[in-house]
Amino acid sequence: MSSPSSTVSAVAAEVLPQAARRRTFAVISHPDAGKSTLTEALALHARVIGQAGAVHGKAGRRGTVSDWMDMEKARGISITSAALQFEYRDAVVNLLDTPGHADFSEDTYRVLTAVDAAVMLIDAAKGLEAQTMKLFAVCRHRGIPVITVVNKWDRPGKDALELMDEVSERTGLVPTPLTWPVGIAGDFRGVLDRRDGSYHRFTRTAGGATIAPEEVLPATAAAAREGDVWGQAVEESELLDATEADHDQERFLAGETTPVIFASAVSNFGVGALLDVLVDLAPAPSGRPDADGAVRKLDDPFSAFVFKVQSGMDAAHRDRLAYIRICSGVFERGMVVTHSTSGRPFATKYAQHVFGRDRESVDVAYPGDVVGLVNANALSVGDSLYVESKVAFPPLTTFAPEHFAVMRARSTATFKQFRRGIGQLGSEGVAQILRSDRRGDQAPVLAVVGPMQFEVAQHRMENEFGAPVELDHLSYTIAVRTDAASAPAVGAARGVEVMEREDGELLALFRDKWDLRTLQQRSPELTLEPLVAAQL
């Protein structure tokens, strides 16, 4: 019989080979580009679901696996990130779907701290939109390699070469298409695989609910079948050859190029190719710098950080799930880890792999994996966890809010639920919670990046916590940091209010930049500092 120590050593020896199997990536794009549909199609092609949820037609419409909140199903958009884990070939895929709407940029940014690559979706008809450009910039800033998918090629859209020029000119990345469409946008017959010259012909399925049959033909057979349409695809691919738009793995990992796949996620065209590209080209996890810049190696003792906290996923239990990204070592269910901020032990009795809203217990996980810790009430977004050697990873960026509203319970009878809900929303990062003696504990101010966050907060307060609320929107548009010495004078200025955030920071709220500039010019000795915000 093996001893416990030999068992632990055997598990630890698996860290590097297991980490090498991991592919952890996010799907990001402008709203309505098809992120959740692509997420579902990837899961379908990996054969972890039997039928895609995006079945069209109002009578038979089903929600996608990754969009599980009532509001997401009603609106047809993602308003919270979701994690899916599945195996494909010999790889373990950790796929993070992100909110598409700009109002939830902060959630998207947090997800991008937890991935090793990104899949950027571009709508074939709209090209690079505002949110797409912002997300490209974040990926570049964080050194995240980007694979580009031109989606919705089954609908009328831009010329393929025009889209490649747009990607190159506006992002600075060199597009290196791995596949090229056969047929213009709106007449998607298949793709030319530029790596071997073969033709992958697609056949539609009813509603795109099942995997589209794919027939692989040599170039001669493709020419005989498709005629001039194939000839045009070959000519355009040869133009790309002349511009050296071929994949180079070193340049891709260095963030200089972006491999491109043409697809129709709703029809499941080109999705299998994307899965193969992710496994073959996307980087495996690597050592991660801590807050001091020292690299935590993959085979160092266990460490992880919390990048998202979510409650309300299980209506029967009303539990709270903290998503952690494992950075080093082995995670074993039941292990006791240390909370870096408080120095207190934290037991991981209930640990789960997440597949949308569905979960299963996880016994062992490795670097790159995303694990959900259930009822992790002591954990907040940005917290670090470790065993043995202490580590703290860089704090996650807090965005500068631009919208503010007072939230009050509609009934004093639900004030207990109201307080619990407010505390939960604050710890999840759904909104920044501000308080002051002037307004009292019964009227906290919610500060958010985008107004749709108010709708989410209001919906969740009523449906999860049983505390219907009313919102009183304020006219402030800017929040800056101040300090205790300056707060009395700042708060006495006309049209300015000083409030305390839950982390103890004092924030001064201004109606506009002119009010802020006037006070700065009149009283330059006062502390009025911009809040750190991500470049989104």
Locate 24 and state its tokens.
Answer: 């952890």
Q: Please give the sequence-ordered ranges of beta strands (E in DSSP) within 422-505, or none if there are none.
A: 432-435, 445-448, 469-473, 478-482, 497-501
Per the CB < 8 A criterion, the answer to whether 56 and 268 are in contact is no
Per the CB < 8 A criterion, the answer to whether 339 and 346 are in contact is yes
Q: Compute the distance between CA of residue 449 and CA of residue 431 in angstroms, rounded to an integer.
A: 8
Locate 242 and state its tokens.
Answer: 């002349």
Contacts of residue 196, defined as CB under 8 A and 6 or more positions apart, other chains included, come to none
Provide the 3-class DSSP secondary structure of residue 175.
strand
- Determine which helix (DSSP H) or strand (DSSP E) holds 3, and give its type and residue range: none
99 is in an annotated binding site: yes
DSSP symbols for 278-337: HHHHSPPP--EE-TTS-EE-TTSSPEEEEEEEEE-S-TTTT-EEEEEEEEES-EETT-EE
Per the CB < 8 A criterion, the answer to whether 94 and 22 are in contact is yes
97 is in an annotated binding site: yes
339 is in an annotated binding site: no
Q: What is the largest CA-CA distance in the chain?
A: 81
Per the CB < 8 A criterion, the answer to whether 499 and 478 are in contact is no
CA angle 193, 195, 197 (to 5 degrees): 55
Provide the 3-class DSSP secondary structure of residue 347.
strand
Binding residues: 97-101
State the binding site for GTP: 97-101
